[in-house]
Structure 1
Amino acid sequence: MCGTSSHDLFPEKDSNTATGKSLTRNWTMKAALEQHQLVGREGAMSEVIKLIREEGDRLHVISVWGMGGMGKTTLVRSVYGSEELSGMFQKRAWVTILHPFNREQFFRSLAMQLHSDDTGKDVSLMGDGTEKRLQVMEIADLIKETFRLLDRLTYLIVLDDLSSNTEWDSIIPHFPKDEMTSRIIITTREASVASRCSKKYKLRSLGDDAALDLFKKKVFSGTEMVDLTGTMRDQAELILKKCDGLPLAIATIGGFLATKPKTSLEWRKLNDHISVELENNPELEMIKTVLMSSYDGLPYHLKSCLLYFSIFPEDKNVRHGRLIRRWIAEGYSKEMRTKTAEEVAEEYFTDIINRSMVQQLKTRAPYTGKITDSCQVHDLMREICISKSDEENLVFVLDEHCTLQPTDKIRHLVVRGSWSRDQKKKVLGSVLDVSHIRSLTVFGEWKSFFISKKMRLLRVLDLEDTENLRDHDLAPIGKLHHLKYLSLRGCLYIYHLPDSFGNLSELETLDIRSTFVVTLPASITKLSKLKYFRAGLVPTDDVLPSSYVREIDQPLKEFGLAAYKSYVQKKSIHDLDAVPYLFFQARIWLRGWDEHGMKVPRGIGRMKALHTLGVVNIARARAMPKELKKLTWLRKLGVTGINKKNCKELCSAIVNHGRLLSLSMRAEGEPGLEGCLDDLSPPPDSLQSLKLYGYLVKLPTWIEQLQMLTKLTLRSTQLEYHAILVLAKLPNLAILRLCDGSFRWAELNFHFCPESFKSLTALELEFLPGLNSVEFEQNAMPNLELIRVLHCFYGGADGFSGIQFLSGLKEVSLKGHKGDFNEKFKKDLREQLSKNSNKPNLKMEDMAKWLSAAPAPALILNSKFETNN
């Protein structure tokens, strides 16, 4: 039944549908009137029309999907009435799916529209009893009638707002599938529905320029367009940042501001009070209605997961792993029959992503540029989450904007902002009842009174990147006996864990990456429920280029500690804020420690629940390989300190780990890993990710057996060139990272042949100073989407060739020092990209500019390093 769609900018077409040629003409006129609403959508419209016009003699289905308010219906309406499709179809109909879905009503509405289209008159005006006959038909007869009206004809049917596979499965079997060029277009918010139905087209947010154009056209409607400058443009950009490319939000807010004085002060008022305006302003009600409909449509368990995003600050990209493990600790995800709690949480995460409510991102780590998975909720959806959290008393944020009112049974406490010590202490000490809180998350500076003995039920303590947290502040944590999740990641003044941590009998996650902790207390082996443990000052997958490491390590080894301190004070590298790291290098060198790995105590083999362990150093722990052999549930393992003495036993231990999905192996200097990995045969057949760091020369023969391998990283391996031919045959390899020293030749010329790397989607080349050329032949890497180059291709390099043959390519990203990419290199690359039918994006960034804006190398370090710690 046609009605008014609540999730796009404009009302749907009338239920009194025009017919035949008049229908096409009327819709074309309507589409023309709404062209200003399609700002920035011209490309999308062309893409969908192209999908419709693709040659074929069978029924094709096209899915247009995206979050509510993205303009799916508006886009498809314009396509539906496009002149380009005029005369292509003998029958047309548009049905908006009602919720809850009513199959009988759907087919009755469709039959009525098809009758109107067939006769040239609205069915209600026929006067032959057709409408009455259709109104009383049973569902079986309606289906037969629909089939009869469509049989042996070409047709275009739009199913607007399809929300489930069940709806689709109850509709599609009843459409004729004769050898006709018919098309069905569906709009949906669900990625799973789009994938199930057809070729899918994801409607993305508007780009910055298109968003600004739409905003100005709505604000200055009926007047001459103006250029925004100064504070007006600043405020407009803040508004558009909150809208995040969502056409519904931009158009609605723009229309609202069109009735207000066009001043920066007026726009600032809206920016400062956007939450209140969305809640109470009738003119902005449509935005909240659309977004709330997305929230209300979630099952209960996903509502809790979505509201959890209100814990994190605006614009905070949340690491995928951090979110998943917090959900598990909160009890949002539990073991279910044959699925682990982590697998269930992954399904929840995927479900929310597929509903287009949260955006999955690929972010790059500072300095190394390593790509990691993270996510971010849309700004306006976050406002909905905050509103619902307030209603349910779920999250309390202690910052300069909070109201000092007693609050009962807070579940999640967040501390951030610039409040004074006395203000925060007063709120925590006398205003808030903290006895019921399940999680405490701190953003910013740490104060000792943040933890209270009243927090008896605390399950999650997230102190990631907290400033000025010290060793003595950790002592009270050992008394939080219900704690399941503890993160000290990025806390730069933490050097030791107290013995009391052994009392955290419920702890499941312990993340101490990027702290200065390199040894663990013996009591840690009491944590029988610990599943996830990550450590290491410099994670093995974020290693600095070898030239940088040599520069800061060599003076220490040659002159000793005293001369080293003098060297550090004089070096220009001091300007990079790396002094804390340099002094720590001195300490670990004197004590024989390893910045990349943790020295673990004897008895870790008793921690049977561990499924993620890394990075551990086995060089100074003879019993470590035997301990690892006992950890049969391991899925992810990172090991450093591999040498000739321990490698055989290590390989023997790993061979038996049938559940292992990810393996990282590292050895420093020569002979490094050479000859150390041969005994790892057969390798774990489930292995999906492999990272090899260290002198290797020749790939182990068992590499060819890794049929499930999807990600491979090589660094300092000094391989012969023919190794690339072996890797090219791995059937499921999707991500290949070739880093500093991965190949031994002074000049590198990669040549990728047809049918090589069939599954590869990302090729990353990092710190390869000898890289001269990369050539792609036709049909090489057919699925490659991303090429990322970091600090390669020096001035005289030949660069890329064959880029135009990469039909799946979406982006080429280059980072280098000024002058690395000469004009000829850039011109040739742009020319090849212009010939690529996919029109990939090119991103180029100056390394110097990048480094000046980044934190200290591979770490978030600052210069307030205290040598007496």
Structure 2
Amino acid sequence: MVIHTPIPAIERSMLGLLVPSIIYWVELLRGEHTCIDEIHNTYDRIKASLRDTHGGEGNETLKTVRIQGDEITHRIENLLDESEYYIERHNWMGRLRCILKYLYNITHTCNLCSIAREINKIQKAAAPIQDFLCRYAHTGLGTIQTGRLENRHMAPVLNEFDFVGMIKSQQDLLQLLLDEEKGLKVTAVTGMAGAGKTTLTRHVYEKQQVKRHFNCRAWVQLEDSFTTKQMLLSLVTELHAESKKPLPEGISIMETDQLTGVIMRYLEENRRRYVIVLDGASEKNLEKNQLEFVLNYALPKDNNGGRVVITTRNQKIVKQLLPQNHIIDVAALSNIESWILFCKRAFGQITDPPPHEAGKYIDRINDLCGGLPLAISVLGGLLRREFHKYDKIITEFERLRTLGDATEILRASINDIDDENEKSCLLYFCSFPRSYAVTANNLICLWCAEGFSPTEEAAKRYLSNLVERNIIQAAEGDYYEHAREGIKSYKVHDLMHGVLRTKAEEANFGTSSMSHQPRTYKRVRRLSVPDTSEVIPSKINLSQLRALFIFTKDTLILPSIFSTIRSLRVLSLENVPIGNFPKEILKSTHLRYLNLQNTKVNEIPTSIGNLRNLETLNLKGTFVEKLPKEILKLKILRHLLAYRYNTLRYTHDPRRPDKVFGVKAPEGFGQLNQLHTLSVVVTDNDGDIIKDLANLHQLRRLGIMDLTEKDGKNLLRALDQMDKISSLSITLKENELLDLKKLQLDQGTPRRLQRLYLRGGLNGGLPDWFSSLSNLVRLRLSGSQLPHESIDNLKNLPNLVDLSLIRAFNVKILLCQGRFPRLKVLDIDQFDNLVEVEIHEAMSQLTKMIIRSCPNLERMPLGNREAFECQRAPPVRNAKRVC
């Protein structure tokens, strides 16, 4: 009889942990990765199950399991990132590759065993989650409660905001700002969240009448957590940013009384007529007496008609500060106004409902939206169809019968997004502060770095879809004919921001709150550190963190935060006043996006080559002058931004054109053939950089400076190889002249070129091929000193919308005759000898003309006053409008 001795439980446990580790270790020695392949398959299956059960948010059990499944996929992503680091080391070549692999695995046995144990844990945890999701998906319940709307046809809605029901409020605010009263006047714009207070105020603030009337403007976004010092510091920053002047030295360490003195002196200088908007005031700002303090101690009272506008949700905040006639209440829309706005958003036109159905539709919209324009716009986006059939619309109303208020509509608009990646792109907006504008290019880079989008083209589609749903808003745009191509930056409404933040924290997507218990940070995936007075825990575990955004000016937190980060993909330190490159992040080998914009970093360490997964490196506004040769190891780098402007040019010499500083690139830069953006690189004396450019076939945006005439021909040859280039900036070396007429493009003009910036003298004028730049939308010529006939090469550009001429022509009379068919913005600057501007049968679409620093100008062309903006620095003397 054979007696089988049972294996003790502790030994079985040890074997269960040890065997997978040994298997994984041996597989790596053989060059096999079966364990990794299996966990990758598990990842794909769970992601598919999450998509199949999308929309079952009403079922609490499903909601909990989906969160657990999402957590598992996150752990797998981190594991795959870490394993790739070790697998990559097995790609050695040569005779010693086997020995090197064995030595490497022996050295890193502890790490490899740790990965193997994690694989084993994940597989065990994933099995019941996947089984539940599969069974739930097969029942079909995953889509019953979704409320999703099928067959949606989205029409572009990026036109000017429809101010339904706000015309009188606009006129009242404009009148209060522009009246003849010389003393300080304070106006409040009040209304519910989502009523359109900020939109209305911003629209009036940006009007040309307001810009001409006030020579000093500032828009300050208030936060509940602001101290009085932070409010004053924000005001100082905005005032100097608007006038493009450098901040005073030591501004960050000044106390409140010193800051009030800085603001007072700044506004009293030359008796500046100012308008200041304090957006989003709350009861906390009132309780702290911050508004009263700013009005009484920081702003001059008799400053030639100074104005302050306060936007707030609660009238009682300002009633004790202001007389009643200085309060503009943005009321909820009436039933009919709600219907008009809804029709514009849902159908693209105003449509009368059938008489017998009118009450049903209009009352239902009012019940759902409460007369709030934001909610109505989002509802219109939810119900937009390619057909205008009311029976279909009422069916969709019935689907939304459970919605109770505007917040529920916003939540429904999020749940209605089918694509989980697109939904993640939307949730990403809560990583930024309230009312924060994010550039389109930045969003696309971030989404790709996070893995939400496989390509930049897909990310652009996500962005377009979110805009067309009216969920996100254009924050700043150009005067482009095609609106979606002209939007520079985007944001979400404050009410939507709150909903997204709640949703993100519920799904463990990310947080911007610093009030969590230290132990809970271990599960945080995306963290925003706000610029507030909240205390940041000294010891927090961020081992699962994928994205970190720091907005605080406190540099002391950086080492403590970086010490526990292992799987970071995104890091943004924009505007953080650090002087040295934070070397702690060089251990984050999975990093794909690094933003150091407007920091004081002046050198990139040679160990930057460790960040081999880096796709975006933003060094704009830093003091980096040279890139180390190790940057050539970043083989998948797509976006490199490294330039700054001379911020002192306005104080020293206002007549001097923009001074740009770029970076010197190492020899062999052409190896980085995945680059989409390269701006701005400095040419070398040998012209090697120009030759390297010919290898960068994927470039979409290129900025180059210190170009010489001998480099011109090589540059045009390189451009012949860049069939995707859409933005080109060229700055000539000082005292160099470029003769474009002698330079010809071998394969014709760049077909996709939309933006062209030329700084420096152009000898001989513009060539004939210049007029064939058929897709050119924006053109900036600075210091060109062209003969007058060269303007004929510009007038036939079919899609030119924005033309900026800075010392571009040395003429007394600038004659624009015929064509310029789509030009909307004309900027004329620093024409010393210019006496007269004449426009004859041209520029029929012109909406804005800026004329500045033209000391001898006597006559301006006839036109709509709203189209002209004259900035007198130095003043335009004796200027008369041509009749």
Report the TM-score, using the length of structure 1 for normalisation.
0.54
CA 1:512 to 1:409, structure 2 compared with 1: closer, same or farther past 3 Å?
same
In structure 2, give the amino acid aligned to 1:394.
F
The alpha-carbon deviation at position 242 of structure 1 amounts to 7.6
Q: Which residue number corresponds to residue 815 of structure 1?
A: 871
Equivalent residues of 1:600, 1:616 under 8 A apart: yes
1:457 matches 2:567: yes
Q: Deviations over 1:832-851 (max 9, x none)?
A: 9xxxxxxxxxxxxxxxxxxx
CA 1:465 to 1:417, structure 2 compared with 1: closer, same or farther past 3 Å?
closer
Equivalent residues of 1:656, 1:684 under 8 A apart: no
1:544-563 aligned within 5 A: 548=653
CA 1:641 to 1:231, structure 2 compared with 1: closer, same or farther past 3 Å?
closer
Q: Which residue number corresponds to residue 616 of structure 1?
A: 681
Higher deviation after alignment, 318-327 or 609-618: 318-327
The alpha-carbon deviation at position 377 of structure 1 amounts to 1.3
Q: Which residue number corresponds to residue 330 of structure 1?
A: 450
CA 1:796 to 1:675, structure 2 compared with 1: closer, same or farther past 3 Å?
closer
The alpha-carbon deviation at position 546 of structure 1 amounts to 12
The alpha-carbon deviation at position 625 of structure 1 amounts to 1.9
Q: Which residue number corresponds to residue 860 of structure 2?
A: 799
The alpha-carbon deviation at position 292 of structure 1 amounts to 2.7
- Structure 2, unpaired ranges of 5+: 1-147, 174-183, 202-279, 284-310, 325-368, 373-403, 479-485
Find 1:288's aligned residue among 379, 399, 407. Answer: 407
Structure 1 distance, partners of 2:668, 2:798, is 39
1:215-294 aligned within 5 A: 236=190, 243-245=197-199, 286-294=405-413
Find 1:343's aligned residue among 457, 460, 464. Answer: 457
Q: Which residue number corresponds to residue 376 of structure 1?
A: 491
Equivalent residues of 1:513, 1:536 under 8 A apart: yes
Q: Which residue number corresponds to residue 839 of structure 2?
A: 776
In structure 2, give the amino acid aligned to 1:645.
K
In structure 2, give the amino acid aligned to 1:654.
L
Find 1:640's aligned residue among 666, 682, 705. Answer: 705
CA 1:742 to 1:378, structure 2 compared with 1: closer, same or farther past 3 Å?
same
Equivalent residues of 1:208, 1:245 under 8 A apart: no
Q: Which residue number corresponds to residue 244 of structure 2?
A: none
Structure 1 distance, partners of 2:737, 2:778, is 22
Equivalent residues of 1:711, 1:735 under 8 A apart: yes
In structure 1, give the amino acid aligned to 2:544.
H
Structure 2 distance, partners of 1:527, 1:551, is 37
Structure 1 distance, partners of 2:317, 2:870, is 45
The alpha-carbon deviation at position 535 of structure 1 amounts to 0.9
Structure 1 distance, partners of 2:657, 2:560, is 38
Q: Matched residue of 1:609: which SS?
A: coil
Q: Which residue number corresponds to residue 550 of structure 2?
A: 442
The alpha-carbon deviation at position 283 of structure 1 amounts to 13
Identity %: 28
Structure 1 distance, partners of 2:460, 2:512, is 27
Structure 2 distance, partners of 1:768, 1:238, is 49
- Structure 1, unpaired ranges of 5+: 1-162, 169-189, 215-229, 268-280, 335-340, 365-370, 554-593, 805-809, 833-869
Equivalent residues of 1:647, 1:677 under 8 A apart: no
Find 1:509's aligned residue among 603, 612, 616. Answer: 616
In structure 2, give the amino acid aligned to 1:391.
E
1:758 matches 2:865: no
Q: Which residue number corresponds to residue 779 of structure 2?
A: 712
In structure 1, give the amino acid aligned to 2:825.
A
Q: Which residue number corresponds to residue 207 of structure 2?
A: none
Q: Which residue number corresponds to residue 210 of structure 1?
A: 169
1:701 matches 2:806: no
The alpha-carbon deviation at position 777 of structure 1 amounts to 2.9
Structure 1 distance, partners of 2:452, 2:502, is 20
Q: Matched residue of 1:777: which SS?
A: strand
Structure 2 distance, partners of 1:597, 1:255, is 43
Report how many aligned residue pairs link the two structures: 533
Equivalent residues of 1:658, 1:686 under 8 A apart: yes
Equivalent residues of 2:435, 2:493 under 8 A apart: no
1:733 matches 2:788: no
Find 1:478's aligned residue among 577, 586, 589. Answer: 586
Find 1:394's aligned residue among 498, 505, 509. Answer: 509
1:542-691 aligned within 5 A: 548=653, 596-674=661-739, 678-681=743-746, 682-691=748-757
CA 1:714 to 1:282, structure 2 compared with 1: closer, same or farther past 3 Å?
closer
C-alpha RMSD over aligned residues: 4.4
CA 1:357 to 1:765, structure 2 compared with 1: closer, same or farther past 3 Å?
farther
Structure 1 distance, partners of 2:758, 2:315, is 59
CA 1:205 to 1:641, structure 2 compared with 1: closer, same or farther past 3 Å?
farther
In structure 2, give the amino acid aligned to 1:750.
L
CA 1:307 to 1:474, structure 2 compared with 1: closer, same or farther past 3 Å?
same
CA 1:395 to 1:309, structure 2 compared with 1: closer, same or farther past 3 Å?
same
Equivalent residues of 2:678, 2:699 under 8 A apart: yes
CA 1:603 to 1:201, structure 2 compared with 1: closer, same or farther past 3 Å?
closer
The alpha-carbon deviation at position 520 of structure 1 amounts to 0.6
1:10-409 aligned within 5 A: 166=151, 191-192=155-156, 203-204=162-163, 210=169, 236=190, 243-245=197-199, 286-299=405-418, 300-334=420-454, 341-362=455-476, 373-399=488-514, 406-409=520-523
The alpha-carbon deviation at position 329 of structure 1 amounts to 0.8
4+ residue segments displaced more than 4 Å: 163-168, 205-209, 211-214, 230-235, 237-243, 253-265, 281-285, 401-405, 542-547, 549-553
Structure 2 distance, partners of 1:525, 1:707, is 35
CA 1:724 to 1:513, structure 2 compared with 1: closer, same or farther past 3 Å?
same
Q: Deviations over 1:331-359 (max 9, x none)?
A: 1211xxxxxx1222122212222222222
CA 1:625 to 1:288, structure 2 compared with 1: closer, same or farther past 3 Å?
same
CA 1:757 to 1:363, structure 2 compared with 1: closer, same or farther past 3 Å?
closer
Structure 2 distance, partners of 1:530, 1:206, is 49
Equivalent residues of 1:510, 1:532 under 8 A apart: yes
Q: Which residue number corresponds to residue 76 of structure 2?
A: none
The alpha-carbon deviation at position 232 of structure 1 amounts to 11
The alpha-carbon deviation at position 727 of structure 1 amounts to 0.6
Report the TM-score, using the length of structure 2 for normalisation.
0.54
CA 1:389 to 1:312, structure 2 compared with 1: closer, same or farther past 3 Å?
same
Q: Deviations over 1:377-431 (max 9, x none)?
A: 11111111112112112222255x66767245212111123447xx4242xx24x
The alpha-carbon deviation at position 212 of structure 1 amounts to 11
